[in-house]
Structure 1
């Protein structure tokens, strides 16, 4: 006898987790903030209120009133460390009692190192209007657990990449007010795999692979108010509804599950990434010293579920909560050419206790930042920044079930811990005017 299961629910849950993965490098959930070497150096404490192409991602009003064509590029190395530890995860196969899930009980550094590129270009049309474009990768990560890890039924290998192209316009309204708007064109590509349990523990695990990609759209609007002493910036970045289309492959299931082996194409998943409201201020205390402050609110509550279309036709809850970050920092000009900066940021995770899984090892964190800039000549400036990110320990405790709603439903009571998690972030960039 075999049970034909359209799509193992555990596999669908893996799809949810992959698209909603928390990159524990420098991020609020899976949003990567490190889109500027300057911002990295001051813990992203003044970006929406600063001016120039380097700040276009945070506020399209940043390019209003520029006098020269300009470009900014940066590359950021993200080097995360941490342990994802089994604390007694249990599995119950059909007709059997709960037993330990087995496998390697300690996953060390499952999140891969990576390099995050970004760039922007701005062109003045006249003394009031400028056009620009920013190219960033705001939602990207790679994670890789061992094949025999205790996490294998919910997380094995995952890769998420986004490319955001943001054409923008900035306009000077008065000598103290600038406004800006932008379209966000975003390409997303995702891959993940995880193990599937056979009905007998003595049998090798099956496997599942999911791939998907798609193009989607959002928008950004911002304002800047400034005088000789104070600059203020406020930005709204919209939530983006993503639709990814791809393939699902299930293999290696035997016995009563053999009928579930399949290769499906055209599988769709829809989910929302969060909107942002960013408020930033810069106080020019002296000719040399500028104090920065920035707060951001993220509407992660919109990431409430992943909705899977035909032939799966299920909606799976995520239950994220809205979250926020606050930061403070300073820039200090040592000379007309050299500037030092530093900052501190506190970020609250949108994940919740009781709902966090091994593919989502995120927690509240502190970011400590330092950096600087050096002007090589009147056209070229080099920027550098470094962060040390310290994550709180957290539980990994999301209950899942393979083949839910069928006679072979296999619940997995996840009981794990995130321990000793931290990250080093190194950013190098440059600005050119011409």
Structure 2
């Protein structure tokens, strides 16, 4: 394979792999769950079984049977910390032996702080039917490794923004059964870059940058079963086949590699994000106390390859595995106006050993949450939540080929954690 083929191949693969950095926020791998300040206060432990527009993202049946029109907005500040450490990564340039990678062996806090907005509304169309919409940002982040970082040949600078618009309908079928359906319209925009090694270590690195975007579609369907004491919600969010189309620029290669300097347009990458099966329950233990639980099964095995179109025409294996999360929590009505919440969540990463790189420093995590709501008036209330996310230490050990050089990665994610602060407001009319 010529370098002219390898350059766009690697850059396009990096574009898709960058989605994995979302795992350092709250949920796992590509998925960001900060779509409700109310849910954040209980570690998102009962969203598929709760009612109102705050739960639309998880289950469109949540708006069936609402008694008032309502609007909800929220924002979550994500404050991640962590170290990406080199433990002996080596590089072999063409015709040479393996030698230790040069550069800064410690990348401290490479993932930038960020704010994730969300909003939703629901309107009654009679006693049994309601329509609504959720606008969320499930995949959004910025990461920035230093130019001399040991990770630079696989990850340098990345910016990703996603907007998901979910028009929904909910219907009361019987006194105890509610159903809902939704269309997910998703726009993704990404910019990323990484360094390319020249043949001699004494020569400055080259660079490649790719920008891409695309519109994609999926769907969500769900049911809720209600009685006087409990609600069970079951929903499914479909896998989405994404297509990103962008421009690639490769510069700074010298000598025998200089022919790889080029600009390509129309580079495409196709891949699948996972479907989700969500099962949630809410049980009213007393007049004041409601217990919540939610389990989510993610079909991450659908992210098995990245299919690259012309001029590359290749497949890149990713080999993600199925994963899950389990959360429990409670809501306690302290007064008629004030509610306190708390919860805990366990999430398992879909990334596997020998397949994890610096663009996807994902790991198993525990999430500890607390929050509450206060009704300022009969029409307006506020929600707040704080999460502490504790990540396991994990290996970063996926080999990389860049500009004809082979990098055997030996690194580790250490001391990783995040604080997530969520604030929202609800207005009914």
TM-score normalised by L of structure 1: 0.97
Is the counterpart of residue 410 in structure 1 residue 410 in structure 2?
no
In the alignment, the residues of structure 2 paired with residue 344 and residue 20 of structure 1 have an alpha-carbon distance, to the nearest angstrom, of: 23
In the alignment, the residues of structure 2 paired with residue 433 and residue 19 of structure 1 have an alpha-carbon distance, to the nearest angstrom, of: 36
Other-structure match for 1:6: 5
SS state at 2:202 partner: coil
Other-structure match for 1:406: none
Other-structure match for 2:420: 425
Q: Residues 389 and 22 (structure 1 numbering): CA distance in 2 closer, same or farther, change over 3 Å?
A: same
**Map 1:16-165 → 2, pairs under 5 A:** 16-165=16-165
Is the counterpart of residue 175 in structure 1 residue 175 in structure 2?
yes
Deviation, 1:140, is 1.4
Number of residues of Structure 1 aligned to a counterpart in Structure 2 = 427
Q: Residues 129 and 76 (structure 1 numbering): CA distance in 2 closer, same or farther, change over 3 Å?
A: same
Deviation, 1:15, is 2.8
In the alignment, the residues of structure 1 paired with residue 15 and residue 367 of structure 2 have an alpha-carbon distance, to the nearest angstrom, of: 30
In the alignment, the residues of structure 1 paired with residue 164 and residue 278 of structure 2 have an alpha-carbon distance, to the nearest angstrom, of: 18
**Preserved CA contact (<8 Å) 2:307 2:315:** yes
SS state at 2:378 partner: coil
Stretches (4+) displaced over 6 A? none
SS state at 2:5 partner: coil
In the alignment, the residues of structure 1 paired with residue 159 and residue 302 of structure 2 have an alpha-carbon distance, to the nearest angstrom, of: 22
SS state at 2:329 partner: strand
**Preserved CA contact (<8 Å) 1:11 1:402:** no
Other-structure match for 2:254: 254
In the alignment, the residues of structure 2 paired with residue 385 and residue 21 of structure 1 have an alpha-carbon distance, to the nearest angstrom, of: 22
Unaligned runs of 5+ in 2: none
Other-structure match for 1:267: 267
SS state at 2:371 partner: strand
**Preserved CA contact (<8 Å) 1:41 1:342:** yes
| Cα displacement string for residues 323-377 of structure 1 (whole angstroms, at most 9, x for unaligned residues) | 0000000000001000000000000000011110011111000000000000011
Other-structure match for 2:278: 278
Deviation, 1:121, is 0.7
In the alignment, the residues of structure 1 paired with residue 406 and residue 304 of structure 2 have an alpha-carbon distance, to the nearest angstrom, of: 22
Deviation, 1:11, is 2.9
In the alignment, the residues of structure 2 paired with residue 168 and residue 14 of structure 1 have an alpha-carbon distance, to the nearest angstrom, of: 33
**Preserved CA contact (<8 Å) 1:22 1:361:** no
In the alignment, the residues of structure 2 paired with residue 184 and residue 214 of structure 1 have an alpha-carbon distance, to the nearest angstrom, of: 14
In the alignment, the residues of structure 2 paired with residue 186 and residue 15 of structure 1 have an alpha-carbon distance, to the nearest angstrom, of: 17
**Preserved CA contact (<8 Å) 1:170 1:181:** yes
| Cα displacement string for residues 19-51 of structure 1 (whole angstroms, at most 9, x for unaligned residues) | 444430112112100100111000000000000
In the alignment, the residues of structure 2 paired with residue 299 and residue 22 of structure 1 have an alpha-carbon distance, to the nearest angstrom, of: 17
**Map 1:169-318 → 2, pairs under 5 A:** 169-318=169-318
In the alignment, the residues of structure 2 paired with residue 184 and residue 66 of structure 1 have an alpha-carbon distance, to the nearest angstrom, of: 22
Q: Residues 387 and 274 (structure 1 numbering): CA distance in 2 closer, same or farther, change over 3 Å?
A: same
| Cα displacement string for residues 264-321 of structure 1 (whole angstroms, at most 9, x for unaligned residues) | 0111111111110000000000110000000000111111111111111111111110
SS state at 1:203 partner: coil
**Preserved CA contact (<8 Å) 1:238 1:274:** yes
Other-structure match for 1:349: 349
Q: Residues 316 and 21 (structure 1 numbering): CA distance in 2 closer, same or farther, change over 3 Å?
A: farther
Unaligned runs of 5+ in 1: 404-408
In the alignment, the residues of structure 1 paired with residue 65 and residue 3 of structure 2 have an alpha-carbon distance, to the nearest angstrom, of: 63
In the alignment, the residues of structure 2 paired with residue 225 and residue 38 of structure 1 have an alpha-carbon distance, to the nearest angstrom, of: 21
**Preserved CA contact (<8 Å) 1:104 1:148:** yes
RMSD of aligned alpha carbons: 1.0
In the alignment, the residues of structure 2 paired with residue 71 and residue 22 of structure 1 have an alpha-carbon distance, to the nearest angstrom, of: 27
SS state at 2:23 partner: coil
TM-score normalised by L of structure 2: 0.98
